[in-house]
Structure formats: C-alpha cells, structure tokens
Structure 1
C-alpha cells in the first residue's frame, strides 16, 4: 500500500477495532506509518490504542478486524 507525503497509509481498518495477532491485544487502529530504514527497506507500522489509552505499535501485517 502507498503512503502520503507524511508517511501515513490509508489502511482499510483505520479508526476501527483491531486485534494484534502478535500480542493478542485489541484496540482502535489510529494510524499506519511507513518507516524508511537505513538499508532502504520500508516497514509498515501500525499504531493501536486500547481502552487504557496507552498506544502500542506492531507490524501492520499483524492486524485483523476484531469481532
């Protein structure tokens, strides 16, 4: 998926409840950013906010819609 000039992706689950399969945590997907690493790789990072309000990040590929 492509990102805008600021590195943000229009992810289909944006602002919806998601589950992080790596941590098994659930929360609202706040953003997906594209981070450029020194070796030229672009890593898609999802930013998830649970009810507690303390966000965490995970690989965007770890997300699925929560039920």
Structure 2
C-alpha cells in the first residue's frame, strides 16, 4: 500500500494523471485517494475530476491509467 498522511490521504502513483473508472467507464484527473473508516472497515476512496463536468468518487480499486 502507498504512504498515507495524517489526514488519511494516500500518495497514489496516479495522482494528477488521467485515469479511467472501470465502474462508470468515466475518465478524469485523479485528484486524491483518501482512507475512510466505514463500519469498522478501512476503505480507499478515489476522487476523479473530469475536464468539463462534475467530479465523482469510486473505490480506489476501480481506477487505472486511461489509455
């Protein structure tokens, strides 16, 4: 796993690069990956911002580099 700061943000290798979300097939810039506790489990949430649209979040496992 990548390094995480005190606020729960992960130093992900695709940060500020164009990524694709396999769940929505959307593409945009990966702006951050945060670690959040839900129901006693730690989950990784990726935040994606497309060029001319509203950003969204998805499970970090759903992202990969855009081709």
The TM-score normalised by the length of structure 2 is 0.92
Write out the 4+ residue segments of structure 1 that deviate beyond 6 Å after TM superposition. none
Matches within 5 A, 1:24-43: 24-37=25-38, 39-43=39-43
* 2:52 alignment partner in structure 1: 52
Is residue 12 of structure 2 the alignment partner of residue 11 of structure 1? yes
Gaps of 5+ in 2: none
User: How many residues end up aligned between the 2 structures?
Assistant: 66
Cα deviation per residue 1:12-63 (whole Å; 9 max; x = unaligned)? Answer: 10000000000000000000000111x3100100000001142100000000
Gaps of 5+ in 1: none
Q: 2-side partners of 1:34 and 1:18: how far apart?
A: 19
